């Protein structure tokens, strides 16, 4: 027996010696093959492209990895201690591998306590930067050796800094600074102890402990981390108690930025890719645009309101879909799954949520909405769909149990039934002195359609194009008091280049002789056609190119006078800027400066300033008189409501409505802001027999200008030499 024991003992010792020899041999072989530490000594992380407003509010972020590289000194102490408490509480004591921690983790895991890992923070850095996640002895050996090598070359604080910037934390966020912004909408230095503990729980399993999608599980882990922090004396008992009771406000998955500027951010992204190529998504560039937060928010809200107001006037088109409601309790898993699955293909659009009708009568609807609430809608909230609640309603219109509908908040914490609109609109706002884009809304909802109507929609401008023809007439010597006949007109095919044409005024009436000033103010088509006949359409086509319009988009026919060509809202805003600034050409631009990851400015815009006579495209006298004609439109013409509602005398502009009301425009300005609004359908069709630019787009313009000009002083025009006022 003694011999057997001795034999076994010697065998064990021999095995240990052999294992040690093999381990040393493996280390000798592996060490020369360890990768260079350049990836950590010269840290060059993938940092996304970030787009900012002129006020330095982030409006967009593009890249696979959301990361905001932060020095270790900028991380709050509570966050660092929360991370250490759960990941490696002996980090500042070991040399890369914590053998004491390995033994402790093994005992805890065998004893059935909360699972603990044995990897130190340094080992995790080695794995994250250099190795795969495969679980093999070879990889573990390389991980240990790399950890030792890293510890020999970097300080503890530098290693912790690398870890806290590189680790993946869910929602495409890498590093704790990015996670603080994504999960709590805060800068990392603003995190509380409770929030720090919540984020510290993410590295182990970012999906499982994501507080947005699994708050209960994330909360359990947070509480365990707070307990660890208390036990390790990282926080006091009072701090622990307060953190345990703190209500955590986790951001949802919807609104990512405080400024709604998706179309702006996307246009900036396109410009950056053109400038720097596809690598722009990982270089950490910060792009500062010319867009102002207040202007952009005003544009977003004005366009949304204008579209919804139009939609509510033109009738309910019926529910978006229908779902069979299971015969189960409202709070059952079966019911919740059925409702969630029904709404997943009907995403919210800002304040407009989708919902499933669970109970329906002619006086009340009970709707489960996508935010998870059950809401009761009655009274005024049902006025839009009153006919659809009738038992005699057409099947496609009727709202009943199982109907998928849209709701939006109303007054006094109530909801109203609405629908996702089909019509589109756009608003573009420029500084006419520099060409800087101040605001841009390219449509109702960027997520349902990324086509930017402000930049890309080539539409007939209708009567909003007339001022450019009138400016051409002024250059030819026609004066504001010149008389022009507003009478019936028949034009032969030889002159039109096509079929005979009998233009008509919008209301079908004529007024006879009137001044040029009155003809523009009242948007008289017949008078305007006579004006372009007098100056010649070929001359007019050449003249409008001064304003930046493309000749091929505006053929030299008499119909040019009525805006039968095609222009984008941006082109119109540039053209109207020339009236606003006294006759100077401006080049629209969006990007004011670009800063690299190290804070160096690598691009800065240098717009040419108005006042440089080399930029003049319109005689200052012509520009002044044209401006006075456009002021008359807001004084006594088709846009008189703008002056009344804004209470200003320094605004000017022109309404525009195309044939069959396919497009509705208003283009107008103040000396500091040139703004164009368009409304129409993507597949052109009539907006309605009584709809006009003055009725649809002008209210959007007024809504925007109310905020854009809130602090702007009144700016009367200065009459240039060579201009005399009319009697």
SS (H, E, C) 676-722: EEEEECCCCCCCCCCCCHHHHHHHHHHHHHHHHCCCCCCCCCCCCCC
Task: Quote helix, strand, coil % in the chain, to nearest 5.
Answer: 45, 15, 40
Is 552 in the active site? no
Q: How confident is the model at residue 86 (pLDDT cuts 50, 70, 90)?
A: very high
Of 83, 286, 97, 290, the C-alpha closest to 195 is 83
Residue 629 has pLDDT above 90, yes or no: yes
Domain edges within the chain: 65-245, 321-418
Is 87 in the active site? yes
Q: Which CATH architecture has domain 321-418?
A: Beta Barrel (2.40)
Mean pLDDT value of segment 348-370: 94
Kindly report the backbone phi and psi dihedral angles of residue 709, in degrees, each rounded to the nearest multiple of 5, phi listed first: -105, 15
Q: How confident is the model at residue 26 (pLDDT cuts 50, 70, 90)?
A: very low
Enter the tokens of residue 41: 């000594």
- What is the reported pLDDT for 611? 86
Kindly report the backbone phi and psi dihedral angles of residue 92, in degrees, each rounded to the nearest multiple of 5, phi listed first: -85, 5
**Residue 544 CB neighbour total at 10 angstroms:** 24
- What is the reported pLDDT for 337? 84
Chain segment 532-546, per-residue pLDDT in tens: 999 999 999 999 999
Instruction: Name residue, tokens 């107008």.
Output: 668
Residue 32 has pLDDT above 90, yes or no: no
Residue 30 has pLDDT above 60, yes or no: no
Chain segment 361-394, per-residue pLDDT in tens: 999 999 999 888 899 999 999 999 999 999 899 9
- What is the reported pLDDT for 4? 58
Mean pLDDT value of segment 551-557: 96
Looking at 87, 143, 151, 266, which residue is catalytic?
A: 87
| Average pLDDT in the chain | 90
Enter the tokens of residue 159: 């290693």
**Residue 375 CB neighbour total at 10 angstroms:** 18
What secondary structure does DSSP assign to 501-545, as a single string? B----TTS---EEEEHHHHHHTT-HHHHHHHHHHH-HHHHHHHHG
- What is the reported pLDDT for 101? 58
Instruction: Name residue, tokens 């505006």.
Output: 554
- What is the reported pLDDT for 109? 46
Of 548, 718, 522, 483, the C-alpha closest to 624 is 718
Assign domain 65-245 to its CATH superfamily: Biosynthetic peptidoglycan transglycosylase-like (1.10.3810.10)
- What is the reported pLDDT for 371? 83
Chain segment 274-306, per-residue pLDDT in tens: 999 999 999 999 999 999 999 999 999 999 999
Per mean pLDDT, which range of 128-142, 379-393, 427-441 is the poorest? 128-142
Looking at 178, 463, 567, 628, which residue is catalytic?
A: 463
Chain segment 489-540, per-residue pLDDT in tens: 999 887 877 789 999 999 999 999 999 999 999 999 999 999 999 999 999 9
- What is the reported pLDDT for 333? 79
Q: How confident is the model at residue 99 (pLDDT cuts 50, 70, 90)?
A: confident
- From the DSSP assignment, how many helices (H) and strands (E) are in the chain? 24, 20
């Amino acid at each position: 027996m003694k011999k057997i024991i001795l034999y076994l003992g010697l065998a064990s010792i021999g095995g240990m010696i052999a294992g040690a020899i093999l381990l040393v041999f493996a280390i000798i072989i592996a060490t020369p093959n360890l990768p260079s530490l350049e990836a950590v000594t010269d840290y060059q992380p993938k940092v996304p492209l970030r787009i900012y407003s002129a006020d330095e509010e982030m409006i967009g972020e593009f890249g696979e990895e959301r990361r905001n590289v932060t020095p270790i000194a900028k991380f709050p102490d509570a966050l660092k201690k929360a991370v250490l408490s759960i990941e490696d509480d002996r980090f500042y004591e070991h040399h890369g591998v914590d053998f004491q921690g390995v033994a402790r983790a093994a005992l805890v895991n065998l004893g059935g306590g909360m699972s603990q890992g044995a990897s130190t923070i340094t080992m995790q850095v080695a794995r994250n930067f250099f190795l795969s996640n495969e679980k093999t002895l070879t990889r573990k050996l390389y991980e240990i050796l790399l950890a030792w090598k890293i510890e020999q070359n970097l300080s503890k604080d530098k290693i912790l800094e690398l870890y806290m910037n590189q680790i993946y934390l869910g929602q495409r966020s890498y590093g704790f600074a990015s996670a603080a912004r994504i999960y709590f909408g805060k800068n990392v230095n603003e995190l509380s102890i409770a929030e720090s503990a919540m984020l510290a729980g993410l590295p182990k399993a970012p999906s499982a402990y994501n507080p947005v999608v699994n708050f209960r599980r994330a909360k359990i882990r947070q509480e365990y981390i707070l307990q660890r922090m208390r036990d390790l004396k990282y926080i006091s008992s009072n701090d622990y108690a307060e953190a345990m009771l703190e209500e955590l406000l986790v951001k949802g998955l919807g609104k990512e930025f405080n400024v709604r500027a998706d179309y702006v951010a996307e246009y900036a992204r396109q410009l950056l890719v053109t400038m720097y190529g596809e690598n722009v998504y990982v270089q950490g560039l910060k792009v500062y645009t010319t867009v102002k937060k207040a202007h952009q928010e005003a544009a977003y809200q004005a366009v949304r309101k204008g579209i919804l107001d139009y939609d509510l006037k033109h009738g309910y088109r019926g529910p978006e879909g229908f779902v069979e409601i299971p015969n189960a309790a409202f709070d059952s898993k079966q019911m919740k799954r059925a409702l969630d699955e029904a709404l997943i293909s009907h995403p919210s659009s800002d304040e407009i949520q989708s919902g499933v009708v669970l109970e329906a009568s002619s006086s009340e609807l009970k709707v489960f909405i996508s935010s998870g609430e059950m809401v009761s809608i009655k009274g005024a909230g049902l006025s839009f769909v009153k006919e659809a609640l009738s038992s005699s309603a057409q099947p496609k219109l009727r709202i009943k149990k199982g109907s998928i509908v849209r709701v939006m908040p109303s007054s006094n914490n109530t909801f109203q039934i609405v629908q996702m609109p089909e019509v589109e609109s756009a608003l573009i706002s420029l500084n006419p002195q520099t060409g800087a884009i101040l605001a841009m809304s390219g449509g109702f909802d960027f997520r349902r359609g990324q086509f930017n109507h402000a930049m890309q929609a080539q539409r007939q401008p209708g009567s909003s194009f007339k001022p450019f023809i009138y400016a051409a007439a002024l250059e030819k010597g026609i004066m504001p008091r010149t008389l022009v006949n507003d009478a019936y007109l028949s034009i032969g095919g030889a002159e039109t280049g096509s079929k005979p044409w009998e233009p008509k005024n919008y209301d079908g009436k004529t007024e006879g002789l009137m001044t040029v000033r009155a003809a523009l103010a009242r948007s008289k088509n017949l008078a305007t056609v006579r004006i372009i006949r007098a100056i010649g359409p070929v001359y007019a086509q050449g003249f409008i190119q001064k304003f930046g319009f493309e000749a091929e988009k505006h053929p030299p026919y008499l119909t040019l006078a009525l805006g039968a060509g095609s222009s984008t809202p941006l082109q119109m805003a540039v053209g109207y800027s020339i009236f606003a600034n006294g006759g100077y050409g401006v080049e629209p631009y969006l990007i004011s400066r670009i800063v690299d990851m190290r804070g160096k400015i690598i691009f800065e815009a240098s717009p040419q300033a108005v006042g440089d006579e080399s930029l003049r495209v319109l005689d200052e006298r012509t520009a002044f008189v044209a401006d006075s004609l456009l002021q008359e439109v807001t004084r006594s013409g088709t846009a008189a409501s703008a002056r009344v509602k804004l209470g200003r005398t320094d605004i000017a502009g022109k309404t525009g409505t195309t044939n069959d009301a396919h497009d509705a425009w208003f283009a107008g300005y103040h000396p500091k802001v040139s703004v164009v609004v368009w409304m129409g359908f993507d597949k052109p069709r009539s907006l309605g027999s009584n709809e006009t630019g003055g009725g649809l787009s002008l209210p959007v313009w007024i809504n925007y200008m109310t905020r854009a000009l809130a602090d702007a002083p009144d700016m009367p025009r200065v009459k240039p030499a060579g201009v005399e006022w009319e009697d």
